[in-house]
Amino acid sequence: MKRTRRRWAVTAVTAVLGVLVVAQLRSQAATPGLSALSAQELTLVIANVNTRNEQLRAEVDALERQVATLTATLARGDSATGQLRFDLAAIEAWAGLIAVTGPGISIRISGDIGSEGIEGLLNELRNAGAEAIAVEGVRIVPGTVVYGASGALSVENTPLPASFEIEAIGSPQILTGSLTRSGGVIAQLAATNPDAAISVTPLEAVSIPATERDLVPGDAQPSL
């Protein structure tokens, strides 16, 4: 009995496997694939795949070059913008349109001295390389003058006190040496104005405000 049951079991399993194999074969036959293609057709498929791959590689290379170009252009644009901003700030500083700070000197003046003596000091500062000058907090720009007699000096319609200060930004050593040298402008002013007192103090930091003068020309036009 046991042998008979085993035979029936083996027979059943074999039948089931046969059905599954037949179904699998029919499924593959119903779905055409590369195995159904001829050698010539397979060669054509491979050639098409290779061609498409080459096209995709070319597109990738083109996109990478485009990204590199855009990155370089952006970098140049940022660099150019930064340089333009730096140049504009320098021009505005020279013109007196913005406040500036830096090393320089302070000149304290008191006593009997007229506007000619003050203008002589300002001219000497310019000649010595002063990059910005202020008289009692008033920025000196083209067109700004100190005028009046001794005891009645003014700058930009601002009266100067009996003791006032001139500040200048530049090399403290050069500015001080130029003003105080033997036979220099301070020595000359001391000879012609014995009642005036002028002292020069080098400073590590000087702050000079922007001008309040309207620097837009009334008659001149830019020539391009």
| Long-range CB contacts for residues 186-194, cutoff 8 Å, separation at least 24 | 186/121, 188/120, 189/113, 189/117, 189/120, 189/121, 192/117, 193/111, 193/112, 193/113, 193/114, 193/117
- In the block, which residue shows the tokens 């500040």? 167
User: Which of 12-16, 50-54, 91-95, 172-176 is most confident?
Assistant: 172-176
Angle ∠(196,200,203) on CA atoms, nearest 5: 150
Pairing relationship of beta strands 163-169 and 138-139 according to DSSP bridges: unpaired
Percentage of the chain surpassing pLDDT 70? 78
- Please write the tens of the pLDDT for every residue from 147-193: 888 889 999 888 999 999 999 999 999 999 999 999 999 999 999 99
For residues 168 and 101, give the distance between their C-alpha atoms in angstroms, rounded to a whole number: 10
Give the pLDDT of residue 14: 55
- Indicate yes or no: pTM above 0.75: no
Q: Which of 19-23, 137-141, 216-220 has the lowest mean pLDDT?
A: 19-23
What sign does the CA torsion over 17, 18, 19, 21 have?
A: positive
Q: Which of 1-5, 104-108, 136-140, 150-154 has the lowest mean pLDDT?
A: 1-5
Mean pLDDT of the chain: 81
What is the length of the chain?
224
